[in-house]
Structure 1
Amino acid sequence: MSQFTVSGQFKTRDGMQAFTRSIDAVNENVAREHVLSKFGAEHNLNRTQIEIGEVVAE
């Protein structure tokens, strides 16, 4: 597994909030899916409310 840093923004009541998350995943697509899943669960967001800007392998 590789370490990926995923950054982007998600919708809040006050506008958009930036985020950066480090995650272990097999590839870039799996890293994106994990971030979408975690933000959806933690912040009660739909996938359309989360914008992933960049995924970088470390």
Structure 2
Amino acid sequence: MSQFTVSGRFKNRDGFAEFETTIDAENENVAREYAYTQLGSQHGLKRTEIELEEVSQ
């Protein structure tokens, strides 16, 4: 497994908040899906409220 750094922003009550997280995943697509799942679960967000800007290894 590789480590990917996923960054972007998500909608909150004050506008948008930026984030950056490191995720262990098999490939870039899995890292994107895990980021959506993790942020949605932690902050009660839908996928449409999350904007992924960059996924790098």
TM-score range, shorter chain: over 0.9
Q: 1:28 matched to which residue of 2?
A: 28
Taking the aligned partners of 2:28 and 2:46, their CA distance within structure 1 comes to: 20
SS at match of 1:30: helix
- Matched residues, number: 57
Taking the aligned partners of 1:38 and 1:44, their CA distance within structure 2 comes to: 10
Q: 1:51 matched to which residue of 2?
A: 51
* One-letter amino acid matched to 1:38: Q
**What is the CA deviation profile of residues 11-38 of structure 1, one whole-angstrom value per residue up to 9, with x for unaligned ones?**
0000000000000000000000000001
State TM-score, norm by structure 1. 0.97
RMSD of the alignment, in Å?
0.3
SS at match of 2:45: coil
Taking the aligned partners of 1:38 and 1:56, their CA distance within structure 2 comes to: 17
**Structure 2 residues not aligned, in runs of 5+:** none
Taking the aligned partners of 2:17 and 2:53, their CA distance within structure 1 comes to: 12
Percent identical across equivalent pairs? 58
Taking the aligned partners of 2:28 and 2:3, their CA distance within structure 1 comes to: 10
State TM-score, norm by structure 2. 0.99
